[in-house]
Every structure is written in structure tokens, then in C-alpha cells.
Chains A and B, each alone.
Chain A
Amino acid sequence: MAPKYEKAKAIQKENVVVDGIDISGHWNRMFEQRVITEYTPELIEKIADIPNAESFANCYQCAKCVAVCPVDVVGNYGPRKLYRYAQTGMDLTEAPELWLCTTCANCLRVCPKEVNMVKIMPAAREQAILDGKFVPNELQQAFENTAKSGNPLGQPQRKRDAWIKDAGVEIPIMKDLGRKVDVLWYVGSYPSYHPRGIDAASAAARIFTALGIDFAILGKEEKDDADSQRLAGEKGLFEMMTEYNIETFNKYEWDELVVTGPHELNAFKNVYPKYGFERPVVHYTTFLARHLDKLKPMLKHSVNKKITYHDPCYLGRHNGEYEAPRQLLEAIPGVELVEMGRNRENGYCCGGGGGGMWMDSFTAKHTTMRLSEKRAMEAASTGANVLAVACPFEVSRFADAVKSTGNEHVDVLDILELLDRSMRGDQ
């Protein structure tokens, strides 16, 4: 649909002199009034009619969201713009814009009308998928992998716990243990399979063991939380995984569920209750910060680094945890913690949320640079030589981004890896 509006007609008089001042020609140009009926509300209503996407219609175009939208920084985006595009003929369910939002929630933080893209985008995407509209290939592959293999990487389920043999400590598996544990540690897909994720998972295992935590993992019974797949529009897939996960969690006795990733935290803490699962869930940063008294004396080796910390959207904005990661970093001897301009509530998104993790090539076509690259440059500009992260999506994203932006001197490390280094010394 082409935009319906026409340019307003200009009126100008050739010879005009007012109070002795010559304002002939374009100096007196005025425009005819335009009646604001030249756009159609249909395509806005089409979105707002989708259950959970109702708030799309609330937008009154104040544009506070655009100022904080991470995608707008590297492109031309933002909820207000989507609303305007819809007014002028864009069907969001068929537009590339549908796939660019990372559900980082910074717009919702500032929106006076509570236009909630975290709900709108998944609902509109789900509609598009159900209607057989365009879905980026990479994303489709991640969906299929999750459905078939239990993880978006498409790795075999049988190998989910293959990493534990190289962790250097014994990692008990619930099924073999046959008793109640204090902590059920949900490792997550990237920490189980991705080489850089395995580094963090192994570090976590060593830290938990050193702290004498009574923990176990699900091993081959663990499957992806699929929260990002839900946000990318595959709610059915999420529900299938949720049923399996809840059943598996409930099979065993444990007091607290500790997760490596913020997306898992979001799923288990905020979404699973709707499916009848209400149990204590914490992110590892929160959990370890609670054990800081015991952990601190173990951090014997100095890590003489200037570190900047990237707030994961789903740990910070979505779940309000800003302090624990910083407390852990500050507990490491030798660390100088510096902040990036955009931090905490206004932290900049890495681009991995809402399915962005699996749409990098698609996104690249509609943006000037990756969000992770923008963020890596911000990190480098603080003079830090370590970019510390607390989300398994981020290590590989930022490791790529520091390289592609010429900032190889910045090491990307999970807080777990930094704690482990301080505990064991450089290995």
C-alpha cells in the first residue's frame, strides 16, 4: 500500500511589502491546511487486534522511545516509527521491521502510554508465522533445531552434558544422584554446547564446588527454555518446551533453581508461573552475591584489569538485577570497574534478545552495524581491557564484535570466568 497523503500545497505571493519590509516570493510562503484524514488506521488496528498487541494503538507519537531504542542507533527504527509506518501503509506482519526488535524493553521504560513492544512483537510475529508469512531462514532453523534437538544450536541431546568431563570437578547429575539437593543448576544451551559458553559453565562448576554448594544438574534431561523463541514468535514451541521443563523440574527435589542465563531467569521466574510453576529461581550473579562472604576470601589472585560491565537486558531491565554483578566484580582483587555511558536501566542491548541471536545476517541487511558492535565500541571507549558479561548469548556476540570493530585488545569474559581466574590464578 502506497502512502495516501500528498504534500500540502504551498501558497506564496509575488510582491508583498509589510511595514516597509519586502517579503516577496518565498519569504511569504505559507501552506494550505491539511485535513488529517490522509492515513488509514487499518494497519494499526490490524496489529492492535492481535491478542497481547493491543497497546500498539496507544502510541501518541511522543518519540521518547526512539531516543532510547538500540536499533535506532544503528538504523531507522523505534516503536513510534513503526506506528507511523503503519499509518502510512506498512503491514508490520509482512515488513522486515517485524524482526528487528530485540525486546530489550528500554522503550517501555520511558513510554508514557505503556506501549509494550515486549508483548506486541511476539504476538505480531506469531501471527505472521501462523499465517505462513516470511520468517528469516536462520530463525526458522533455530526453531526447527529447538523442536528437534532440544536446543537452538541443533546439537544432539545426548551430548548436552558432554562438557562436564573437562570441567575439572565432579558435577552431579540429578538422575544419578537420587536425592534432594539444595540447588538445581540449570546450565542452559549455550553454556552446554558453545565452546565459549562451556568455559563459563566449567568456571561456574568450579566455583559452586569450591563454595561447597550442594548442587546438581539435569544433564541429558535438560532442554532449552525457549524464551527467546517465544519472543521471536514461536509460542507453541515455547509451550512445548515449558511443559517438558516443568515436568522435569518437578521430578526432582530441590530448594532453589540457579540459572546461568538471564533469558532462562526470565522464562522460569516470570513466564512459567502462568503455566503453574512457581518456585524460587535466581540468576547466578544474585546467587553468588549472596555467598560473597564465603567467596571473597577465595578470590586470592589479583586480576589487574580495567573492567566494564554490560548489563544484560533480561537481567537488568527485565528483572531488576543491577547490583549483584557489580558486587562480584568489585570483590575481585585488582579489578578497576568502569561504567559505560549507557548502563543499568539505560543499558544498551547486545542484539541477541527476542530471537536476534539467530537473525544476525538478516538484521545486518537492515542496520548499519550490529548492536553488539556498537556496544563493543562503547566498551572500548571506556579504556577497559575486559568487557564483562553475565549472559551466555553475549560472550560469543561480543567476542565477534570486538574483533570486527578492531578492538581485539578488549577481552570478553563472563563474570564466572573472572571469578574463576581470581580463585585459581591464571591457568
Chain B
Amino acid sequence: MSNDILVITEHMDGKFSDVSFEMVGKARELASALGGQAVAVVIGSGVDANVFASDSTLHIDDAALSGFNPEAYAKIVEALVKEKSPKAVLFGWTVTGMDVAAWLSAKTGAPCAAYAKDIRVDGGGFVVSCQVYGGKLMAEVAPEGDMAVIACLAGSFPVEAGQGSTAATATASPVDAGSLKVKFVEAIKPAGGDVDITAQAKLVSIGRGIGGKENVELAEELAQALGATVSASRPVVDAGWLPRTRQVGKSGLKVKPKLYLMLGISGAPEHLEGMKSAELIIAINTDKKAPIFNVAHYGATADLFEVAEAMLELL
């Protein structure tokens, strides 16, 4: 049993994601309150692991792990947890962290708190604030037992606090890659040809409120009149109304345009992750209690079709 905090970092194409640094920063704070160490865990090869402000960094450097493998990550983390008996294991509530956090919880019997927005130490344990029900409720929960698995929403903590230059210790993988049932075959690059929404200065972004594929045209017209590009929240893309390349949010792209005009997007935490640093956010939604109004700079409770059509007349 230690008071250490393990942070399972994540990287792609040789770069760590922001949430990795955010978690390391938070882990330092938690570890110092508990008298333990913040340990950054880097799994996979082809990345410079000496970039964290952790107390120590463990690099499981194995060429067989060059592509993300959920089964390998799960088994490696399970072995590490056995070895280190940490107080907490932090994951990003991301497309990679989500594959492992709940698995580890069920495997080890340790509690899991997901959608974590904040973590604080309370009487030797933790209290985690979790943003659940699409951002409509905040739950404060205290994980019971010796170890907690906490999956953190990206953007919850400052990035800078986790940036540093702690020298990583390279370790061999405790898992035999040959025995894995999940095999990484190849990376799939985004389909070329479409616009890069991360490079656009203005985005007109549509959500479920757009109602149907046939209505996307209205958004296209408005975007054209504004010199903008149409982007979307996940449900629109999942429904096949726009290609995946237009998706903003956790499972989509992170954007930082000058203008982010939102039509019919309620603002689930996963979407906010992808757009909250836009310079000017204007949201139109019929639900006056939509969480997006807590993030947008300007908002209106109105029918998006009426507003879009009226704007088209004025532009």
C-alpha cells in the first residue's frame, strides 16, 4: 500500500495529449497532500517521455506497443498496480483511457469514478466531482477502499502544472505481446479531401437539434454567407448527416476558431472539450437550461431554423 498516484498518460504520433499533462499536474497536488509520489506512466514507443513534472516517470518502452492496444494497456496497468499498490490510478476519460479504466476497476475490485471534473483529498481519501448525465448533474463521490480508479475529463486541470522534464525510467513490458488477443493492424488516417475544421477561423456547428440530414443544407448556406465551415457534434456525425472529419469534441477534433456559432447543440461535456477555447461562442438552443449557455459568450433560446433563415436574409 502506497500513497502514490499513477497517471496513465496517452500519446499519438509522438505527442502527448493535453489531458496527460493535466492529470500529472493534478496528481502532484494529490500526492503531496497524501505524502506520496506522482508517477507518470508512459506505455509505448516512439515518444519522448522526459516531459512531465512528475516525481518519477515510468516508460514501458516496447516496440510491439507502437500503436495503442487496449488489451496490452489493460494488462500492463494491471501488473503495475499489483506491483506498486498506488492510492489512485488516473486515466483520461478519452477514447483510449475509456478502454481501460472501468476494466481495471472491475478486474481489481477498486472503485471507479468517471467523468471526473475535479479531485480533492479528504480525510486520507478522495472526493471526486463527476459531470454526469450529459453535464446536467454534478455528482460528488468518495471512492471507498485502498485504491481508486479515476477517469478525468480533458480540460479539467491546467496543462502547465504537469509539464516538466523528469527523466523517465525505461522498463520492459510485463506483458508478452505475442499472447494478446487484440492485434494492432494499422493506423487509419483521416479521409483526405475534406476541409480541416481545426484550421478554420469560423465554424457554424450543428447538433442534434438540426433534426435531419435534409436540414444540413441550411447550415451550409449560413456558413457560406459567413465565410465559415460547417462542423457538428457527435450525434450528427453518428447519424451519418456529416462526415467524421467535421466532428468537434472528445471523439472528434479540438477546434479554436474565432467564431463558433452553435445551432441546436446542448453542450455535453464531450463536446465542450473540443470547443471551449473558441474566441467567440454563440449558442442558439430551444432549451433555456442547456448546459452550453454556461459556456457560450452569447446565447439565445430560439428556433435555430428561424434564426438561421433570418440571418441569411441579413447577410
Contact = CB atoms under 8 A, between A and B. Distances in A.
Whether chain A touches chain B in the assembled complex (some CB pair under 8 Å) = yes
Interface of A: 136-138, 140-141, 361-362, 365, 400, 403-404
A interface secondary structure, majority: helix
Interface of B: 211-215, 217-218, 239, 241, 306, 309-310
B306 A141 contact: no
20 contacts: A136-B212, A137-B211, A137-B212, A137-B213, A137-B239, A137-B241, A138-B211, A138-B212, A138-B214, A138-B215, A141-B211, A141-B212, A361-B211, A361-B215, A361-B217, A361-B218, A362-B214, A365-B214, A400-B306, A403-B310
B interface secondary structure, majority: helix
B306 A136 contact: no
A110 B212 CA distance: 36
A163 to B, nearest CB: 16
Contacts of A403: 310
Contacts of A362: 212, 214
B17 to A, nearest CB: 34
A138 B208 CA distance: 11
User: What 3 A-B pairs are tightest by C-beta distance, nearest first?
Assistant: A137-B212, A138-B212, A361-B214
A400 B241 CA distance: 25
Contacts, number: 27
B212 A404 contact: no
Contacts of B241: 137
A151 B206 CA distance: 24
Given A400-B306, A404-B309, A136 B211 contact: no
A403 B303 CA distance: 14
A365 B213 CA distance: 12
Contacts of B212: 136-138, 140-141, 361-362
Nearest to B208: A141
Nearest to A362: B214
Contacts of A400: 306
A73 to B, nearest CB: 22
A218 to B, nearest CB: 25
A361 B216 CA distance: 10
Given A137-B213, A137-B214, A362-B212, 15 more contacts: A137-B241, A138-B211, A138-B212, A138-B214, A138-B215, A141-B211, A141-B212, A361-B212, A361-B217, A361-B218, A362-B214, A365-B214, A400-B306, A403-B310, A404-B309
Contacts of A361: 211-212, 214-215, 217-218
A141 B306 CA distance: 19
Nearest to B309: A404
B137 to A, nearest CB: 17
Contacts of A141: 211-212
A362 B218 CA distance: 12
Contacts of B215: 138, 361
A137 B215 CA distance: 9
B73 to A, nearest CB: 38
A140 B214 CA distance: 12
Nearest to A363: B214
A22 B244 CA distance: 70
A139 to B, nearest CB: 8
A362 B215 CA distance: 8
A273 to B, nearest CB: 35
A141 B241 CA distance: 14
A137 B212 CA distance: 5
Contacts of B217: 361
A141 B215 CA distance: 13
Nearest to A404: B309
Nearest to A365: B214
Nearest to B241: A137
Contacts of B309: 404
Most buried by A among B214, B239, B241, B306: B214
A138 B310 CA distance: 21
A78 to B, nearest CB: 23
A5 to B, nearest CB: 33
Nearest to A406: B313
Contacts of B310: 403
A140 to B, nearest CB: 8
A266 B266 CA distance: 37
Nearest to A399: B306
Nearest to B240: A137
A403 B310 CA distance: 9
Contacts of A138: 211-212, 214-215
A227 to B, nearest CB: 22
A404 B217 CA distance: 18
B43 to A, nearest CB: 42
A400 B212 CA distance: 19
Nearest to B239: A137
A289 to B, nearest CB: 34
Contacts of A136: 212, 214
A266 B17 CA distance: 60
A105 B209 CA distance: 33
